């Protein structure tokens, strides 16, 4: 009988995650961008830099959130696929109210200390169904 040799598929490098002081629309070479939002009087309110980031990719993010009827609850995620050459996915993340005791929004980042790319990737997939 001939002997078969098993071969493994090519390995893929895990995604890289970084924090930056630059505004979201100033970033290049980014595949996934997460932007914050809240809701005040049933109207979505974009977080710092989100409106500019939306304009840079040709989207009115406030209008998009309005049509999705978001609540702004902490941890709410709206996934927006993007067909750009670099940016593939935009995540709009609800921050909740300032007095909200639901602290789930930042839990992914805190759990990844030291940073664990696979944990963050799994969390994004769990929240959005999108594999990064």
Question: pLDDT tens-digit profile of 66-78?
Answer: 999 888 888 889 9
Q: Tell me whether residue 11 is in a domain.
A: no
Q: Tell me whether residue 36 is in a domain.
A: yes
Q: What is the pLDDT of residue 67?
A: 92
pLDDT digits over 52-68, tens only?
989 988 999 999 999 99
Residue 73 class from Cβ within 10 Å (0-12 exposed, 13-18 middle, 19+ buried)?
A: middle
Q: What is the pLDDT of residue 17?
A: 73
Predicted confidence band of residue 130 (pLDDT cuts 50, 70, 90): low
Q: What is the pLDDT of residue 110?
A: 39
Predicted confidence band of residue 92 (pLDDT cuts 50, 70, 90): very high
| CA pair distance 95, 114, nearest whole angstrom | 23
Say what the pTM is. Answer: 0.62
Q: What is the pLDDT of residue 63?
A: 94
Mean pLDDT over 94-107 rounds to: 56
| Residue 114 pLDDT exceeds 80 | no
- What's the mean per-residue pLDDT of the chain? 75
Q: Which residue from 85, 73, 92 is spatially nearest to 130, judged by alpha carbons?
A: 92
What CATH number is associated with residue 82? 3.40.220.10
Count of residues in the chain: 132
First to last CA, the chain: 42
**The two three-digit tokens of residue 8, written as one number:** 């493994």
**The two three-digit tokens of residue 11, written as one number:** 């390995």
Q: Tell me whether residue 107 is in a domain.
A: yes
Domains held by the chain: number: 1
Q: Tell me whether residue 10 is in a domain.
A: no
Q: Tell me whether residue 109 is in a domain.
A: yes
Range of the domain at 53: 28-128
| CA pair distance 61, 65, nearest whole angstrom | 6
| CA pair distance 124, 15, nearest whole angstrom | 12
| CA pair distance 87, 27, nearest whole angstrom | 10
The residue with greater pLDDT, 112 or 49, is 49
């Amino acid at each position: 009988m001939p002997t078969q040799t098993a071969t493994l598929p090519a390995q893929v490098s895990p995604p890289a995650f970084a924090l930056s002081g630059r505004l979201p629309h100033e970033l290049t070479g980014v595949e996934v961008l997460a932007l914050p939002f809240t809701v005040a009087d049933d109207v979505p309110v974009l977080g710092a830099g989100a409106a500019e980031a939306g304009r840079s990719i040709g989207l009115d993010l406030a209008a998009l959130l309005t049509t999705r009827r978001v609540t702004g609850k902490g941890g709410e995620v709206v996934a927006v696929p993007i067909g750009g050459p670099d940016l593939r996915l935009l995540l709009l993340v609800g921050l909740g109210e300032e007095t909200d005791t639901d602290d789930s929004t930042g839990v992914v980042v805190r759990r990844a200390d030291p940073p664990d790319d696979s944990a963050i990737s799994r969390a994004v997939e769990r929240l959005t169904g999108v594999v990064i």
